[in-house]
Structure 1
């Protein structure tokens, strides 16, 4: 019999009517032949009320007692939920984290799971009962009640779904699902039927508040299908699984209030990027786009974007970095916005970037910066044109087109070899190990690509349409482009670098030469063999120490960085071909990923 885990957040169980509605969903799934585990959060603002109540007695209440207090919110919810299910004629049992068998360490308010047992849950399920489990909590080895911290209920739900090898983990929330872009910004925004895990992580700005990104990454590791469903109607929402819709571009994201900072005239030598990112990390400044193009005349240049409210602090950090390096100048600007297109299909279709650039050129929108990942292209544009850009791109890729059919509940997702070969005890051990490592570090994978070459086009006119024309020619030649980097222009001219397969470099150079005949001032350089190092994980943009650790490790290994680009889940650098393997070893060591996880 298939197992479904249903998670209901606080707004979905805020009052009696919503609790009954949630109970009806569990009962319906049970009557359709599924075994059902519900993971429930505290009702509405209950946690806030408990925190305020504690403050009436102490400004610094004991952490153990706060966990004892806060855990009552979930206990109230699961008891009421079980009563509602009983009233509908079905059997249910409410269980605390400790009763389930979730054992944690004794770090109150941010406890880490040490072991999980599914024996009791399976006994109740086999007895025909709906299990209603407290999210967010467990017990330590001394039986003290503990709470799991931010995203704790999502962690509970996805961990139990993985441990039980559930067919689906359904996340009920107050939105219809995930949309092609923010429906508040565009009436034509369409609900996406199915997303891949990586697409969902890249579209963090669209998915914010739907569920915790750590849980998406965890579900990805164990191939747990997630479905974001509305709690207020019977819509099927959005499925997040190993593959997305059969579309090249799945969604768009817009970040409006960006500011950019450029450090130029920097020495082109190891350690420079480490010094810059160390200063930014010391001040906990969240960095978004990071772009470094190849050096010219021994001088390097790096540009990054930050929230506009952090600009003053960023400039202070940049000045400290310049003093530490002993060279360089700083430029900055505001009134810019980032537009991103995301889609797993980009990995297999050439020309997505070219189409994006042409769409924007048709609207006379100039590109100030470009950065890419395997499934994402981001451009920086003038803020007063960002809404126009968003609408043009959405329509240009025909993203408002009708929805495709998606798998129904109960569709099995292929399990990993790890899962198929593991007995239940081994699987539970691996699940707990993954949970612990996710708390320790945000980086989950480090890769080395030694199959690419680099091409740079210098002195391009900094006007709308230039990049569209360049990359349209490359796409027409069926050359797949990986990294694209364009830094802020200087004196009316831009410089664009991109990587292609080594086997295609001669062909690509011919295509570039043909199209740049219209740009008399331009020139081309290339490197036939380069190495690309990538650090992947979750929340890289907000975890400011990742770039610091990455660049420090490469600096200490004596490795110079030629190019940088970033996305929500990946930070990539280009280095000399002969420095790829040493760079890989240095990064594996600093992030503790030298052994297979």
Structure 2
């Protein structure tokens, strides 16, 4: 008999009436022939209230005791849900995370799942019970209660679906699916019928709040279809699986993170190991970085810019300022009034001009771009925070995301896409381990650099319009704020287009008073593709440290949820590929 995992969030079990409504959905699924596991969150704002209460007692409470406290919210919910199902004439049994057999590491308040023992769950299902599972929590090997952090109940649900080989995982929430952007900010946002794992991962880390990235990492890793649906209606919702809604449109969605801060380390000596020193120390203090941009060095020194969540800025600055002094950088500056706006879509990999379209739309509104970073399926820009919502609405309109795209092709089976669940499980020591699908080398590209660009709206759009007019395909783009308020931009093109790209940029640079374009006719681009690159925050630092150990200098960096790209000189590409494959051998599936 097929297993169905359902998850009900806090707003879906906020009171007795809503708990009874959720219970009816679980019973209906069982009557349809499924064995049902229902994961529930704490009621309403219970977790927030418990955190507030704890801080009234101790402003900095011990993490272990916070887990003891916060786990009680879900224990209340599972008991009440089981009671509701009993009242409606059916059998249910509730389990805490420990009783479910969810084993985690010992990182309190942010634990990762190592394994799930499913024997007790399967026995209860075989006996005809609806299993009510506490989300958000687990237990260590020493029987300490842990919680999984933000989005933990989503993670519990998808992890259980993976461990039980469920047919699907239904996420019931207060919205009726995944939208092209936040409908609270953009009223014309449209509900998508389906979205791919990679697109959902990128949107989740770009600011879309409907699903947490760790749960989607699980879904992709173990090929679990996830169906996001409304708790309060029978709308069809959104299916998250391998296939996108459509590949014929370049962009499927847009998102914004409104509270980011940018840190720039100025004048970093251009030698191996300096980027590694910065990001290793941030990682050691569990400070997650988001956008990372390193541009081509000038005069033997480079600037490295990156973003962090605003609340982590003070801690990040302490680390970075100390490291900058040690490595001989010229200084550190920051801006805490910035926001990140991103567009995401599998279709952009095959359609030229997507970046120029986005930049032009922002330029038409007079919105200045402070940083740019791109991957194969995402373009992110940093803008001033007070223009962020306008920027989000602008790019949503520019890509006509309110309109239904052409119907998608039939979904391929996971095995046809090279996903092998048993092979992955056999390689993992813990269910949330980092999985690297491939490490690739591209030796066909050249790099063009524009420096001393005036920091004003519209210039990025003009650059790429001129490049596009010569039918030059642009791959990787990074832009950072340089010295004295000037910007620096680098982008890669096919080696056969290198001279044409320089020629396209020369009149532009002369017109705006920038330095003449420079570049390298041959570079090597290394791409690490995987699942969990952002949540495993040491991937970037391991990459930089490994390359530095082999005296391989990194000239450009761009990051996304599923890919880390670095550019080195052309003669170092094969050596870089070898040492990165050695560094990530345990996590790499394509060996």
Q: What is the TM-score with the length of structure 2 in the denominator?
A: 0.83
- 1:396 deviation in Å? 1.0
1:184 aligns with 2:184: yes
Q: Is the 8 A contact 1:202 1:567 kept in 2?
A: yes
Within a 5 Å distance, the mapping from 1:224-373 to structure 2 comes to 224-246=224-246, 247-278=249-280, 280-281=282-283, 285-308=287-310, 314-333=316-335, 335-373=337-375
Give the C-alpha shift of residue 583 in structure 1. 3.0
Match of 1:566 among 559, 567, 573: 559
* Alignment pair present for 1:523 and 2:517: yes
Indicate how the Cα distance of structure 1 residues 31 and 472 shifts in structure 2: closer, same or farther if over 3 A, else same: farther
Larger Rg, first or second structure (1 or 2): 1
For residues 443-592 of structure 1, what are the structure 2 equivalents within 5 Å? 444=436, 447-459=439-451, 461-462=453-454, 463-475=456-468, 479-490=472-483, 494-500=487-493, 504-507=494-497, 509-510=499-500, 513-514=503-504, 516-520=506-510, 522-534=516-528, 536-538=530-532, 540=534, 545-590=538-583
Query: How big is each residue's C-alpha offset from its partner over 1:276-310, in whole Å with a ceiling of 9 and x where there is no partner?
Result: 33454566554332211112232322222344565
Contact 1:11 1:173 in 2 (8 A): yes
Q: Which residue number corresponds to residue 20 of structure 2?
A: 20
Q: After superposition, where does 1:78-227 map in structure 2 within 5 Å?
A: 78-97=78-97, 100=100, 102=102, 115-119=115-119, 121-122=121-122, 124-125=124-125, 129-136=129-136, 146-150=145-149, 151-204=151-204, 210-227=210-227
Give the alignment's Cα RMSD to 1 decimal.
Answer: 4.2
CA distance in 2, matches of 1:268, 1:14: 55
Q: Give the secondary structure class of the aligned counterpart of 1:177.
A: coil
Residues 536-582 of structure 1: CA distance to partner in whole angstroms, max 9, x if unpaired? 55373x76644433322222221111111223444321112343344
Q: 1:573/1:24 Cα in 2 relative to 1: closer, same or farther (>3 Å)?
A: same
Flag structure 1 segments of 5+ consecutive residues without an equivalent: none
Provide the rounded CA distance (Å) in 2 between the counterparts of 1:89 and 1:122: 21
Equivalent residues of 1:533, 1:580 under 8 A apart = no
Preserved CA contact (<8 Å) 1:137 1:145:
no
Change (3 A) 1:447 1:18: same
CA contact (8 A) 1:268 1:298 kept: yes
Q: Is the contact made by 1:103 and 1:113 (CA closer than 8 Å) also made in structure 2? A: yes
CA deviation profile, 1:120-166 (whole Å, cap 9, x unmatched): 54455456553333445567779x58445435543432222123322
- Asked whether the 8 Å contact 1:473–1:512 carries over to 2, the reply is no
C-alpha change, 1:533 and 1:578, in structure 2 (3 Å) is farther
Contact map agreement 2:505 2:517 (CA 8 A) in 1: no
Q: Distance in 1 between matches of 2:195 and 2:370?
A: 29
Which residue of the other structure, out of 400, 403, 407, is the alignment partner of 2:402? 400
Shift in Å at residue 444 of structure 1?
4.3
2: distance between equivalents of 1:62 and 1:318? 26
Cα offset for 1:355? Answer: 0.8
Number of matched residues? 582
2-side partners of 1:138 and 1:573: how far apart? 37
Structure 2 CA distance for aligned equivalents of residues 531 and 61 of structure 1? 45
Give, in whole Å, the separation in 2 of the partners of 1:487 and 1:53: 43
Contact 2:472 2:501 (C-alpha < 8 Å) held by counterparts: no
Deviation at 1:326, TM superposition (A): 2.7
CA deviation after TM superposition for structure 1 residue 352, in Å: 0.7
Contact persistence 1:460–1:519 (CA under 8 A): no
8 Å CA contact 1:225–1:413 kept in 2: the answer is: no
Distance 1:137 1:199 in 2: 27
Q: Shift in Å at residue 368 of structure 1? A: 2.7
SS of structure 1 residue aligned to 2:184: coil
Q: Work out the CA distance in 1 between the residues paired with 2:371 and 2:64.
A: 49
Compute the displacement of 1:343 (Å). Answer: 1.3
Contact 2:258-2:340 at 8 Å conserved across structures: yes
Deviations 1:77-109 (A, max 9, x none): 334323433444444444555665556689988
Q: How far off its partner does 1:242 sit?
A: 1.4
The secondary structure found in structure 1 opposite 2:290 is coil
